[in-house]
Amino acid sequence: MEEIRTNKKNIKSCLEHKTIDDLLEWHSFMRNLKKDILRPDIDYGITPGITKPVLFKPGAEKLRNAFNLEIDSMECVNEICDISKPYIDFTYKCIIKTKRGIKAGICEANANSYEPKFRYTYSYTTKKPTKEESDRAKAAGIGRWKKINDKWIWVEKKENREIIGLKNNIKKIAQKRAFVGAILIATGASEFFTQDMEE
């Protein structure tokens, strides 16, 4: 029993904590930062079905600047480029540190060519499929009606034949996701923002 009490004491002595006033000041700072500095549709956005605003890269950069944080490293931990499939996959790890060199946030994030926005292309057509044809295409996930400027247009989805040309885009999105995730962790901003994996 004495050993357990000693261990608890040692654990407690290793932990640092802020005062309630410090936390209230941080919370007020975050609310004011979101209200006065961060701009909707530029620094963050609203995504249907997601209750919290989605933090974008410009907003993450402003959070980094507001808390005097730095990127310690941005490392590729996995890369696949298979021309035969074709398939591209990047996983990056971002580490955020304070000015004193303390690691404050670490996040790994992935982007790959099987994500719908890379894997498929969408073309607007002048076709007017019958209800039976459109129902069959919608069920197969290869076509749908979309309203544009008060007009219904038939949109077809096809496999992207130029995946390899998107390698740099996929790489940058993996890096961006890792950076935004690490900033959310480092600043404790998860109460105010979330990260959308489908930019």
Q: Using one digit for the tens of pLDDT, what is the confidence trace for 139-172?
A: 888 888 888 888 888 888 888 888 999 999 999 9
Confidence of residue 1 (pLDDT cuts 50, 70, 90): low
The label of the residue with tokens 């900033």 reads 183
d(CA 54, CA 41): 10
d(CA 137, CA 154): 11
Q: Chain-centre distance of CA 49, in angstroms?
A: 15
The pLDDT of residue 13 = 54
The pLDDT of residue 63 = 96
The pLDDT of residue 21 = 87
What the block records as the tokens of 167 is 């390698």
Confidence of residue 198 (pLDDT cuts 50, 70, 90): low
- How far is the first Cα of the chain from the last one, in angstroms, to the nearest whole number? 53
CB distance 81 to 159 below 8 Å? no
Please classify residue 198 by burial: count the beta carbons closer than 10 Å to its beta carbon, then call 0-12 exposed, 13-18 middle and 19+ buried.
exposed
- Tell me the average pLDDT across 39-60: 89
Confidence of residue 176 (pLDDT cuts 50, 70, 90): very high
- Beta bridge partners of residue 92, listed in sequence order: 76, 109
Query: 174 or 30: whose pLDDT is higher?
Result: 174
Please classify residue 63 by burial: count the beta carbons closer than 10 Å to its beta carbon, then call 0-12 exposed, 13-18 middle and 19+ buried.
buried
Confidence of residue 178 (pLDDT cuts 50, 70, 90): very high
What the block records as the tokens of 93 is 């790890």
Confidence of residue 174 (pLDDT cuts 50, 70, 90): very high
